[in-house]
């Protein structure tokens, strides 16, 4: 039960009676009358149990930055008109507007409450409860209750990096011989033969074709298709570090989506695993047309874990996923505490069998902190930031010595830089 503003006003009117007859019995009498009226109003109010709720959300899946509409159809199964206030309770990051409303529902009829969801975070946003107040006929009190009305909205990653896709696809088409010449190099698919010209690599000469044609012939190659790409997304504790307006994990997901879109157009097959102490998500490409949607849905609800990433588990997952030589991309934090441990051992073992790329977004604020030296506190802060940068630089150099390629960029630049590394490996025949 809850009191309305009318009951407060009615109680205040008793001051007039007390002023006319200032004795204790006047106060007691007015309190009894007020209590009776409130109790009567509560008894005459429709019971919350007579109300039933049906939720609908359209659409049920949106990209971060878009909105959806949720509505509650409320049916009054009682014999009296229900005047209700309701509050639709969603997770705060769902950002529902308006959150509450008033409905007047005649007996055996239905009314609808509609609100807009404007989520500010990816993942599955859930509704928890609907809090209701049913007013009595006198408007002095409410009957209150809560009802569990399930609802959810899946918020996909925004994929802002799609703006870099057209330019990378143009470069891919150029490499594939659709817009420019074919590429020569070891490890790519044979395309055709042509006459030797000055400047060609002598290792590309086909001596049998030269003997048949009685002229020096060289092989031309095109980038290989149907290769395997495995992406390991680190969801350990360092993936929760905030870089500007997003966390490191979000930057890794954006880079993965751009790489997957590029690899899908190149005809490569891609597997994406989100790993920390366990496998949080595993998306395997089935077809080019559904790849991006499957990836977005599979990675939408992945969140950072506070545990340390098990790199031995990640390496074993790669071995179980692919048997032939493949491209293995590890999206993680290029931090000295991570690289100096079991990660470097796992990367070295993988680099002996596969082409390995380790990509990570760094905190650009550290560079800003090294420039602020106006007082003693800022000098100490700058020294600590400089030490962190030097330690990370040494760790990255040690990682490169294992045979892995390293891509280290800001959160915004990581997706295009990783795509460029993929194209570079494809152009040089290392993929």
Identify whether the C-beta of residue 68 lies closer than 8 Å to the C-beta of residue 55: no
Q: Which range has the worst mean pLDDT, 217-231, 238-252, 403-417?
A: 217-231
pLDDT over 70 percentage in the chain: 94
List, for residues 277-309, the tens digit of each pLDDT value. Answer: 999 999 987 777 788 899 999 999 999 998 889
Backbone phi, psi, residue 92, to 5°: -55, -35
Q: Residue 110: pLDDT above 90?
A: yes
> Residue 396 is inside which H or E element, if any?
helix 376-400
Tell me, what's the pLDDT at 111? 93
Q: Residue 146: pLDDT above 70?
A: yes
pTM: 0.78
More confident position, 24 or 170: 170
Q: What whole-number distance in Å separates Cα of residue 274 and Cα of residue 431?
A: 23
Backbone phi, psi, residue 301, to 5°: -100, 15
More confident position, 281 or 14: 281
C-beta atoms surrounding 19 within 10 Å: 9
The residue whose two tokens read 């039960």 is 1
More confident position, 46 or 107: 107
Give the max Cα distance, the chain: 128
What is the DSSP-derived secondary structure letter of residue 309? P
Tell me, what's the pLDDT at 190? 57
Identify whether the C-beta of residue 159 lies closer than 8 Å to the C-beta of residue 129: no
Q: What whole-number distance in Å separates Cα of residue 124 and Cα of residue 57?
A: 13
Beta strands 405-409 and 151-156 are unpaired
Q: What whole-number distance in Å separates Cα of residue 131 and Cα of residue 149?
A: 10
Q: 357 CB contacts (<8 Å, ≥6 apart)?
A: 327, 328, 329, 330, 404, 405, 406, 407, 418, 421, 422, 425
- The C-alpha R_g of the chain, in whole angstroms, comes to 33
Highest mean pLDDT, choosing among 146-150, 185-189, 209-213, 232-236: 232-236
Residue 382, both tokens = 């700058």
More confident position, 33 or 58: 58
Residue 191, both tokens = 């395309």
Cα–Cα distance list, 121 to 61, 65, 200, 303, 361 (Å): 13, 9, 53, 11, 20
Cα–Cα distance list, 283 to 271, 291, 428 (Å): 6, 9, 28
Q: Which range has the worst mean pLDDT, 82-96, 183-197, 237-251?
A: 183-197
Q: What whole-number distance in Å separates Cα of residue 7 and Cα of residue 29?
A: 16
Q: What whole-number distance in Å separates Cα of residue 120 and Cα of residue 93?
A: 6
Domain ranges of the chain: 1-156, 160-165+225-427
Tell me, what's the pLDDT at 185? 44
Tell me, what's the pLDDT at 172? 86
Q: Residue 181: pLDDT above 50?
A: no
Q: What whole-number distance in Å separates Cα of residue 86 and Cα of residue 119?
A: 21
More confident position, 358 or 186: 358
Q: What whole-number distance in Å separates Cα of residue 315 and Cα of residue 311?
A: 6
Cα–Cα distance list, 126 to 67, 91, 117, 154 (Å): 15, 6, 11, 9
Cα–Cα distance list, 85 to 133, 258, 278 (Å): 5, 46, 45
Residue 104, both tokens = 């007047």
Confidence label for 40 from pLDDT (cuts 50, 70 and 90): confident
Q: Residue 311: pLDDT above 60?
A: yes
Residue 260, both tokens = 């997957």
Tell me, what's the pLDDT at 207? 86
Tell me, what's the pLDDT at 191? 61
**What 3-state DSSP class applies to 44?**
helix
Tell me, what's the pLDDT at 430? 75
Confidence label for 421 from pLDDT (cuts 50, 70 and 90): very high
Sign of CA dihedral 417, 419, 425, 428: negative
Q: What whole-number distance in Å separates Cα of residue 239 and Cα of residue 333?
A: 7
**What 3-state DSSP class applies to 259?**
helix
**What 3-state DSSP class applies to 331?**
strand
Cα–Cα distance list, 141 to 86, 103, 129, 145, 169 (Å): 15, 16, 22, 13, 66
The residue whose two tokens read 């940068």 is 389
Q: Residue 335: pLDDT above 90?
A: no
Average pLDDT, the chain: 86
Domain 1-156 in CATH: superfamily? Immunoglobulins (2.60.40.10)
Q: What whole-number distance in Å separates Cα of residue 419 and Cα of residue 429?
A: 16
Q: Which range has the worst mean pLDDT, 128-137, 144-153, 200-209, 402-411?
A: 200-209
pLDDT over 90 percentage in the chain: 45
Identify whether the C-beta of residue 350 lies closer than 8 Å to the C-beta of residue 356: yes
Tell me, what's the pLDDT at 183? 44
Angle at 323 between CA 297 and CA 279, to 5 degrees: 35
Q: Residue 179: pLDDT above 50?
A: no
Cα–Cα distance list, 314 to 184, 232, 276 (Å): 34, 7, 8
More confident position, 343 or 234: 234
Going by CATH, does the domain composed of 160-165+225-427 fall within 3.90.650.10? no
């Amino acid at each position: 039960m809850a009191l309305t503003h009318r009951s407060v006003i009615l109680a205040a009117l008793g001051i007039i009676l007390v002023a006319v007859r200032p004795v204790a019995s006047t106060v007691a009498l007015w309190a009894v009358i007020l209590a009776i009226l409130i109790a009567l109003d509560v008894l005459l109010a429709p019971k919350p149990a007579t109300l039933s709720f049906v939720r609908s959300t359209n659409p049920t899946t949106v990209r971060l930055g878009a909105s959806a509409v949720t509505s509650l159809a409320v049916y009054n199964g009682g014999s009296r008109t229900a005047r209700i206030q309701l509050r639709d309770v969603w997770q705060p990051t769902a950002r529902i507007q308006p959150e509450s409303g008033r409905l007047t529902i005649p007996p055996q009829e239905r009314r609808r409450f509609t609100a807009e969801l404007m989520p500010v975070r990816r993942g599955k946003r859930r509704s928890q409860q609907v809090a209701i107040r049913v007013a009595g006929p006198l408007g002095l009190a409410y009957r209150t209750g809560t009802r569990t009305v399930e609802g959810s909205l899946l918020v996909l990653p925004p994929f802002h990096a799609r703006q870099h896709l057209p330019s990378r696809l143009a470069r891919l088409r150029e490499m594939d011989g659709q817009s420019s010449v074919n590429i020569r190099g070891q490890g790519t698919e044979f395309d055709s033969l042509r006459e030797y010209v000055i400047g060609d690599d002598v290792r590309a000469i086909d001596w049998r074709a030269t003997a048949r044609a009685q002229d020096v012939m060289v092989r031309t190659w095109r980038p290989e298709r149907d290769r395997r790409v495995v992406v390991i997304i680190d969801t350990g504790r360092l993936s929760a570090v905030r870089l500007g307006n997003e966390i490191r994990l979000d930057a890794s997901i954006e880079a993965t989506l751009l790489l997957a879109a590029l690899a899908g157009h190149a005809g490569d097959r891609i597997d994406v695993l989100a790993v920390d102490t366990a496998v949080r998500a595993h998306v395997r490409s089935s077809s080019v047309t559904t790849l991006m949607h499957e990836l977005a849905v599979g990675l939408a609800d992945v969140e950072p874990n506070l545990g340390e990433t098990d790199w031995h588990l990640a390496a074993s997952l790669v071995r179980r996923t692919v048997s032939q030589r493949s491209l293995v991309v590890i999206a993680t934090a290029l931090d000295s505490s991570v690289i100096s441990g079991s990660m470097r051992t796992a990367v070295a073992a993988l680099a002996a069998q596969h082409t390995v790329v380790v990509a990570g977004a760094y905190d650009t604020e550290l560079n800003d902190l090294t420039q602020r030296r106006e007082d003693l506190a800022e000098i100490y802060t700058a020294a600590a930031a400089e030490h962190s940068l030097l330690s990370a630089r040494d760790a990255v150099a040690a990682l490169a010595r294992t045979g892995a390629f390293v891509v280290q960029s800001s959160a915004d630049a990581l997706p295009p830089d990783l795509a460029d590394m993929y194209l570079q490996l494809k152009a040089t025949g290392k993929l």
